[in-house]
Amino acid sequence: MLTRVTTTLLLLILAPCIWAKGVYLTAEQFLQQNFPNSAPTAKTIWLNDEMKQEIAKFLYRDYRQLRVRYWQQGPRSAWIFDEIGKERPITIGVVLNEQKIESVKILAFRESRGWEVKYDFFTDQFQDASLTAENGLSQHIDGITGATLSVRAVERAAKLALFLSQKAKEK
Amino acid sequence: MSLRNRLIFNVKWHRRFGLVCAFFVLLLSVTGLLLNHTGTLKLDRIKLHSPLLSALYNLPSANPVSFPVVDQWVSHDGLDSLFLGQTEIAQCVAPLKGAVTSGGLLQVLCEGELLLFTVKGEFLERITPLLGLPEGSQALALVDQQLLIKTDSRIVHADFDSLAFHPADIQPQAWVSAQAPPAELSAFLASRGPSMDLEQVILDLHSGRLFGSLGVLVMDLVAVMLILLSITGFIAWQTSRKMRKR
């Protein structure tokens, strides 16, 4: 009896951690959800040293990639990045409309903690955020206790999408 | 016990505890200082390779794999690093399954990810199953400069412009396979071996965990001795004060 109760309690405690990890959306599903009528055009933006230096300032790490893929349809664009929360990459999808964030979705979460960032109550805070002159977000994002590193990873991905979208528009 | 005897007793034990603890106090102070500035010193970026550390941490053994591409070699150290020649160009999940060059691109297949580079080894992008790479991708081949990927159940060709993978009805003569690299590269890859972050090693040295449960026990004993060192020191100081008053 005691074993059963203990097992049930353990399962109840651990279940959110186990279920929280994994792939929630593939890139294809993410694009279909956000561009239901017709598929957006796949594009790439090439990064020069100057852009990489600017990116490194708000990502707090070197950005080694030479080009970034994105999808565009009219004024709307979709971006997918892998950003490390604590140890494992979180795959984050960002949809922009006219240099403002339309939506943020967590496509895959691989960390053992911080999965709360996948919930809409958190990602909805990014709606309408734009990039400031200092490459920050124009609006404050409330953190989540126990998920600080994941929250920062999502913020970095949002800034990166806005930054690259701005550069793509300038080109 | 007379005050003099109490003083002698405490000073004697204070000295003993002090001598035993001296080395550990130095160790804890130095490692503590380093840990306090781990970000500034970038200790987490320093990788240590040593057979002793491999044994202490029970690290997995690495199996380096190399593929020849044009006049270069693409190798994986069997842990997490990918090399063009002896230059680290990216990190990817072992095992390395293939590497080819076509259309000015170096294409490298690791476990569950396809990495694209310029022929000079500059990293372009990483394509994962989430972005459309077929699950169970096993090997690469080039037919008429077209990249073919063999999966568990089919063969696909990759279109990197639209990031699409279409079924292919071509069967390559051979899939690229790993080969023994030159002796110098082989020795380099062998020297890479499993590594640990310096930060983690210092942290485990600080807590004693580097030497397993025995190390933790020793650090516990040192902590108790430091407490006793403080107590005997305090008692000795009080006793000598009382003696001077008399």
CA A36 to chain centre: 20
pLDDT band at B246 (very low <50, low <70, confident <90, very high): confident
pLDDT band at A9 (very low <50, low <70, confident <90, very high): low
The pLDDT score that the predictor gives to residue B106 is 94
Taking the C-alpha atoms of residue A88 and residue A22, their distance in angstroms, rounded to an integer, is: 12
* ipTM value greater than 0.85: no
Whether the link from the prior residue into B95 is cis, omega within 30° of 0, is yes
CA B48 to chain centre: 7
Span A24-73, pLDDT tens digits: 888 889 999 999 998 899 899 999 999 999 999 999 888 888 999 999 99
Mutation to test the A interface, candidates B88, B124, B127, B165, most A Cβ within 10 Å: B124
Please name the amino acid found at residue B58: N
Interface of A with B in 40-99 (CB under 8 A): 42, 44, 64-69, 80, 82, 91
Distance (Å) from the alpha carbon of B179 to chain A's nearest alpha carbon = 28
Distance (Å) from the alpha carbon of A110 to chain B's nearest alpha carbon = 13
Q: In this prediction, what percent of chain A has a pLDDT beyond 70? A: 88
The pLDDT score that the predictor gives to residue B109 is 96
| B20-39 average pLDDT score | 90
Task: Please report, for residues B82, B117, B187, the alpha-carbon distance to residue B184 in angstroms, rounded to integers and kept in the order given.
Answer: 17, 24, 5
Taking the C-alpha atoms of residue A146 and residue A94, their distance in angstroms, rounded to an integer, is: 23
Span A106-160, pLDDT tens digits: 999 988 888 899 999 999 999 999 999 999 999 999 999 889 999 999 999 999 9
Query: Which residue from A minimizes the CA distance to B163?
Result: A42
Query: Which residue from A minimizes the CA distance to B129?
Result: A26
Task: Please report, for residues A40, B18, B239, the alpha-carbon distance to residue B12 in angstroms, rounded to integers and kept in the order given.
Answer: 82, 10, 13
Distance (Å) from the alpha carbon of B63 to chain A's nearest alpha carbon = 23
Query: Which residue from A minimizes the CA distance to B117?
Result: A66
Task: Using the structure block, give the residue that is written with the tokens 């650090």.
Answer: B219
Decide if A80 and B163 are in contact by the 8 Å CB cutoff. no
